[in-house]
Amino acid sequence: MIATLSGVISEKLSELVVLDVNGVGYGLYVTAEDFGRLNTGDKTKLHIYEHIRENTHDLFGFKQPETKALFELLLGVNGVGPKMALNMLSVGTMDEVRQAVASGNVKFLQTASGVGKRVAERVVVDLKDKVGLAGVDLQSSGLLQADSLLLKDEAVEALVSLGYTPQDASQALKSVDKELSTQDRVKLALRTKA
């Protein structure tokens, strides 16, 4: 695993920078903020996230370890891959993105390329308490538009934790017998949705 790379920025391409480390050029995807800060010829150290798939080996570089940590938090959200996470981090500074998540500013997150309303809402719901800022009350913000009975339904909460919106969760559970255990209700709701 590569944790950090130190070297000289040898090129800036449209999507990435090339970091020359003792004669080896590493192509690194970086946020728009870091891309603007890094200049050809600059000696720098970047914190690395490796994304390895069957046919690619992508490297993502971050000037600040806090930005990498936020990137990794975003990756933990269902439906968010590395390119989408990088796009979200590129719509503003790291602090602006953290503030948007904590305050429930879904529209700000949606300005990132490829990020729709549902994914932006999921990011807010999953990460609002994890970004280190005072969070928004999801119920009063309208992000969780469900009555108090729905919020007390453990099956709805379980489906929401799996990435459903409260509305979709309650719709999926509508035809499931309420007398069954929470676990059985969730299983049946997942089967009928699939």
Longest dimension (CA), the chain: 67
φ, ψ at 61 (rounded to 5°):
-115, 145
- Do 4-62 and 65-139 come out as alike in CATH topology? no
Segments of the chain with pLDDT less than 70: 132-152, 193-194
Q: Where are the domains of the chain?
A: 4-62, 65-139, 146-193
How, if at all, do strands 24-29 and 16-21 pair? Answer: antiparallel
Which backbone phi and psi does 167 adopt, to 5 degrees?
-65, -45
Both tokens assigned to 23: 């004669």
Look at domain 4-62 and name its CATH class. mainly beta
Between CA 193 and CA 124, with CA 121 as vertex, the angle to 5 degrees is 125
pLDDT for the residue 176: 84
| The pLDDT value given to residue 193 | 59
Instruction: Give the ranges where the chain is alpha helix by DSSP (H).
Output: 32-37, 65-75, 82-89, 94-103, 106-110, 117-127, 138-141, 148-151, 154-161, 166-173, 182-193
DSSP letters, 4-47, are EEEEEEEEE-SSEEEEEETTEEEEEE--HHHHHH--TT-EEEEE
pLDDT digits 0-9 by tens, 26-59 = 999 999 999 999 999 999 999 999 999 888 899 9
Residue 166 CA to residue 143 CA, distance in Å, equals 9
Q: Output the pLDDT for position 129.
A: 80
> Counting Cβ atoms within 10 Å, is residue 31 exposed (0-12), middle (13-18) or buried (19+)?
buried
Q: What pLDDT, on a 0 to 100 scale, did the predictor assign at position 172?
A: 82
Find out if CATH 1.10.1060.10 is the number for domain 146-193.
Answer: no
Report the top-level CATH class of 65-139: mainly alpha
pLDDT score for 148: 38
Q: What is the pLDDT of residue 152?
A: 56
Instruction: Determine the pLDDT at residue 138.
Output: 45
Per residue in 124-135, pLDDT (tens digit) is 888 888 876 544
Q: In whole angstroms, what is the distance from residue 8 CA to residue 158 CA?
A: 48
